[in-house]
Amino acid sequence: MSQRILVIEDQPDNRTILRDLLTAAGFVVLEAEDGEAGIATALAERPDLILMDIQMPIVDGYAATRQIKAAPGMAAVPIIAVTSHALAGDEAKTRAAGCDGYIAKPFSPRALLAEVRRFLATGPG
Amino acid sequence: VQTKLLVAFLAMVVLLVLLGGMGLRVLGGMSHQVEELIELQRKIAAYRQVQHNTTSQLYGVSTGLLVPDERTLDGLLRQLSQFGYDLDRLSHVAQDEVDILGQVRDDYDRFIQIVGEAVALARAGHIEAAREVQLTLAGPLAERLERLTNQLVNVAEADMLERITLSDATYARWRTGVIVMVLGSVVLALGLGYVFSWSLVRPILRIEDRLGKIAAGDFSERVEVASRDELGALAGNVNRMSAELDRLYRQIAERGGELERSVKELEALGEVSQAVNSSLELEVVLETIASHAMALASADAAIFWSWDETAGLFHMQASRNLTPSMAEALASRPIGLGDGAVGLAGARRAAVQIPDVEADPGYSFAEIVRPAGYRAVLGLPLLREATLFGGLVLVRKTPGSFAAETVALVQTLANQSVLAIQNATLFQELAEKSRQVEEASRHKSEFLANMSHELRTPLNAILGFTELIQDGIYGEVNEKVAQQLARVQANGKHLLGLINDVLDLAKIEAGQLELQQGPVALGAAVRAIESGTAALALAKKLELVIDLEPGLPVIEGDERRLTQVLLNLVGNAIKFTEKGTVTISAKHSGETVEIAVGDTGPGIPAADQERIFEAFHQLDSSSTRRQGGTGLGLAIARQIVELHGGEIGVESEPGRGSRFFFTLPIRAQRRSAA
């Protein structure tokens, strides 16, 4: 059974890139347009991995990550932050919120795919 | 004193002499009386002899007549002449009783005559007749003589008795006199001694008392010694000394007061100066100046006015000790040039005094100043190079002018306040500028962060889709499309480079860039650059030369950032050089290494060599367009090198190529990113 990846991203183009990239790579892609929907989908679907944007309406990526990680049985699901917050200290902030990985935008789809595969092969690092 | 002593002793001597003289006189008197007594004694003896002679004469005559022989008669006559001698001798002795003696002499002469007659009769034999003569004539005469001589003796004895009584009386009188005199002398001597000693001791005691007070610093009294002797002179000198000391003390006290005032003035100036220099809080400075000005001028309140040139009005800026009601009254009244003390001082550009507001009908603020109890007003202009800044007004409850030196001193303080006002104004402007700059900087940082975020999001879509297309996710891509996609990707990456450079610079300028220190093998770093840029050089047919000194040390630094610097320099060199070589060299000397990138490009004019290290400065904006690049690389390179404790520079001449170099300390200097 193919692995499921939840993409939480408010920007449609970026959502499309991730969907096309991951679908082409053989993953099942779940999508959410904001943090709140992302949390609901994550808890309902229990994906194998979550790609999390940070700056989003309603509930941002930090809060969403914290809530998902705090939910029962969800702590082991790897969450990779995919964000335009690429300044010094931004990665540390996502780690503090509970993210397991960090990819700055603009990202190379190839590099992102490699990172996703690494996480799914070894479990959350 | 000497005179007094002489007078006293002279008085004693005079008394002694008087006493002695009196004694001598008494002795003389006594001796005289004794002589007189002896004389009287002799006289009495003589009288008694005469008496005796008279009796024996009578007897002789009687006898002679009884036996009238020649021998008896001769004896009788001899006796008679003897009697005459006795009488003669008597006449020398008893001159007092001349009358009686005269009678005695007369009687004696008659007696001799009678006796002579009797003797003659007897010799003639007429015994009876002689006897008759004797009985009738000589006998009574002899009796008379005897009576007379008795009288003489009695008189003499009475005289002697009288003399003795007299002598006793005289002695008693003189004795009393001497005793009185002696007692008087004793009393006089004691009195003189007492008076004299007091006349000496009392002035001395007074002088001593005065000297004691002088020693204690009391010069107020004079010692009064009326006498004109040495003590009087001493007292006079003591008085003069006291007066002189008093004068000197006053002078010293005056000087001391002057010194104290000077010290206070200096202190005030010092404190004011310190306040002006140390505090940029205008209110604090002005209040300090106001309180010192008040203390120096003995004023009761002070007001600082600032001059508003555009409104043509004075505004109260600070005050000290001002009653709220007076402050309110002053605030409610517009004060222009010529109004009140401050207006007058401002108009005249000089200090203005109103010694008594109640006596000055021309002073227009009397009804404001008077209710607060102020009488004297001093207005001073605050001037700097003839520009009016405001005024300082001092008010005092006691009427009268302020002393000229006080006015001058307070004016000095006022001038300091001008400095303070200027300082404070400048500081406020500076603080405002600084705040604006800080805000602008914060805005810039926020703007950059936002821009970074907002640019990355679409860029992510561009680069992401490009890569997906290149990877054939959306189907086969022919060669031509692939070439254009590569251009899209290259431009997208250049845009990303720009964004990253801008952010780097922003971070460096904000002091947020921190070096990730670690060992850096420069040789390896240069080789990595070489392999990374070789393709670029080759594309422009440039020779890339590597010239590494053998045994380059491993230095401490941020490898990623140092590579960024080197890459920037090599990239620039390749970019601006059309033909020739680009040389990367590295060497070390002492504690530093130097890495240089030389080229055979167009070179950089001297005037631009410093500017190129500033942000957004390529030689001209056209070259930016032509050559690409962000124009930020060198600025970032300089910041990174300097963060490592090194220096970056360029040696170049137009037409002769350029040589960029930077030095790095082998041991990293841990410097903060500021």
State mean pLDDT over A48-61.
91
Band of pLDDT at residue A24, cut at 50, 70 and 90: very high
Tell me whether residues A24 and B449 touch, CB distance under 8 A. no
Contacts of A87 in chain B (CB under 8 A): 449, 452, 503, 507
Q: Which residues of B touch A51 (CB under 8 A)?
A: none
Alpha helices in B558-660 (DSSP H): 559-576, 621-627, 633-643
Task: Work out the average pLDDT over A53-81.
Answer: 91
So what's the pLDDT on residue A103? 93
Average pLDDT, chain A: 90
Are A58 and A33 within 8 A, CB to CB? no
Sheet holding B387-396, edge to edge: B313-320, B301-308, B387-396, B376-384, B352-354
- Return the residue in A87, A103, A112, A113 with the most chain B beta carbons within 10 A, the one to mutate for interface testing: A87
How confident is the model at residue B616, as a pLDDT?
Answer: 60
Dihedral sign from CA coordinates of B624, A107, A83, B512: negative
Cβ <8 Å between B461 and A13:
yes
Residues of B with Cβ-Cβ distance to A88 under 8 angstroms? 507, 512-514
The residue of A9, A13, A19, A112 whose CB has the most chain B CBs within 10 angstroms, and thus the best one to mutate to test that interface, is A13
Does residue B474 belong to the interface with chain A, where contact is any CB pair within 8 Å?
A: yes
Q: For residue B241, what pLDDT is reported?
A: 84
Q: Please tell me if residue B467 touches chain A, with a CB cutoff of 8 Å.
A: yes
Chain B residues touching residue A11 (CB < 8 angstroms): 457, 461
In this prediction, residue A108 carries a pLDDT of 92
Angle at B152 between CA B148 and CA B154, to 5 degrees: 115
DSSP for residue B553: P
pLDDT reported for residue B149: 75
Question: Residues of A with CB below 8 A from B494's CB?
Answer: none
Q: Does B194 lie at the interface with A, CB-CB under 8 angstroms?
A: no
Beta strand pairing status for A28-32 and B648-652? unpaired
φ, ψ of residue B551 in degrees (nearest 5):
75, 35
| Closest partner CB to B461 (pick from A14, A85, A104) | A14
Which member of A11, A20, A21 has the closest CB to residue B457? A11
Q: Please give the residue of chain B at the shortest CA–CA distance from A9.
A: B457
Q: How many contacts does A have with B, using Cβ atoms within 8 A?
A: 67
SS3 B486: helix
CA Rg, chain A, in Å?
13
Distance of alpha carbon B571 from alpha carbon B540, whole angstroms: 12
Q: What is the pLDDT of residue B491?
A: 85
pLDDT of residue B231: 78
Q: Does residue A1 surpass a pLDDT of 90?
A: no
Consecutive 10-residue averages of pLDDT for chain B (674 residues): 78 82 82 81 76 73 70 75 71 64 77 77 76 76 77 78 82 83 84 82 83 82 76 82 86 86 79 71 80 85 87 86 84 84 87 85 79 87 85 89 86 80 80 86 77 85 92 89 89 83 73 78 87 86 90 86 89 89 90 92 85 65 50 84 90 90 78 40
Judging contacts by C-beta atoms under 8 Å, the chain A residues touching residue B463 are 106-108
Higher pLDDT, A7 or B411: A7
The CA distance from A24 to B325, in Å, is 87
pLDDT at A124 exceeding the cut of 50 = no
